[in-house]
Amino acid sequence: MVLKDHVGTRKIPAIVGIGIISGLLAGLFGVGGGLIIVPALRSLLGMEQRRAAATSLCAIILTASVAACVYAAHGQLSLLATLCVAGGALAGSQVGAFLLRTLPERILPWIFVAFIMLIIIVSHVHIPTREADIVFTVWNIIAMILVGFISGIFAGLVGVGGGGIIVPGLEFVVGAGDLIARGTSLLVMVPTSVAGTFTHARHGLVDVPTGLIIGMSAALFTPCGAWIAGYVSPKVNSILLSIFLASIIISTVYKTWAQSRRAK
């Protein structure tokens, strides 16, 4: 099989590797894997930020679907909360997709970095509990819709599934336990990623073969990450997430700086 656009068969091992790592992280942290997919596509395959973000969403469809099933099998998922968050996320993803097409390419990496820094800050403001469930009040339902809308904007704009916003949002705003927040977040990512991918594909931004290979590779290893998550305390998980995110910031800033130097 020969892949078009940025990818040839000689790069398939790298693409599979991206999928394996993103799958483990999806299961462990309750994210779709876009936080590793986007910078990896830029660094290893030389994709521009806009195309990497769109292709990442394509991969997240498979990754999030499998991860959500794993969490659901253990009862760590709320269907009602999913509906609330997904409603907002679907609307927000269209806003994000529009911004991705219209904002200048040069500022997109810095939006990505700002997004990651926001996740780090939020994850340390509130250390979640493990057993807390979601309480459905009028305020909490409105709050979940708003959390979904914000996550959808970032999903469409920077190519992540939105878990970096949904998980701490559910934990901090409505008091959800960390595992049920991750499971719910992953299920929300499925329709959000489908909507975002469809929108981007209509404008020719998605490298579908690459996205599918990453997604299938990630799906195989997502259950491993979810299994590990059950044995890691919420506090340790928050620390590990921050270390991982800090490395992504360093990589993204370096890549952007190097590209700007070459462009001069």
Per-residue pLDDT reduced to its tens digit, 139-165: 999 999 999 998 888 877 776 667 777
pLDDT for 119 = 74
Residue 133 confidence (pLDDT) above 60: yes
Q: Which two tokens stand for residue 84?
A: 């609330």
More confident residue, 57 or 164: 57
Residue 7 confidence (pLDDT) above 60: no
pLDDT cut 70: percent of the chain above it: 88
Per the prediction, the chain carries an average pLDDT of 81
Contact (Cβ atoms closer than 8 angstroms) between residue 113 and residue 212: no
At 249, is the pLDDT very low, low, confident or very high (cuts 50, 70, 90)? confident
Residue type for position 198 = F
Least confident segment among 141-155, 170-184, 237-251: 237-251
CA atoms within 13 Å, Cβ hemisphere of 93 = 29
More confident residue, 206 or 123: 206
Most confident by average pLDDT, 7-11, 141-145, 234-238: 141-145
Q: Which two tokens stand for residue 91?
A: 């609307």
Instruction: Give the chain's end-to-end CA distance (angstroms, integer).
Output: 37
More confident residue, 84 or 67: 84
pLDDT for 85 = 92
At 210, is the pLDDT very low, low, confident or very high (cuts 50, 70, 90)? very high
Most confident by average pLDDT, 24-38, 40-54, 119-133, 241-255: 40-54
The model's pTM: 0.72
At 4, is the pLDDT very low, low, confident or very high (cuts 50, 70, 90)? very low
Residue 252 confidence (pLDDT) above 50: yes
What is the mean predicted confidence (pLDDT) over 3-14? 64
Contacts 24+ apart (CB under 8 A), 106-110: 106/260, 108/49, 108/50, 108/53, 108/157, 108/158, 109/49, 109/252, 109/253, 109/255, 109/256, 110/256
Kind and range of the H or E run holding 43: helix 34-45
Residue 34 confidence (pLDDT) above 90: no
More confident residue, 187 or 235: 187
Residue 1 confidence (pLDDT) above 50: no
Burial of 224 (C-beta count, 10 Å sphere; 0-12/13-18/19+): middle
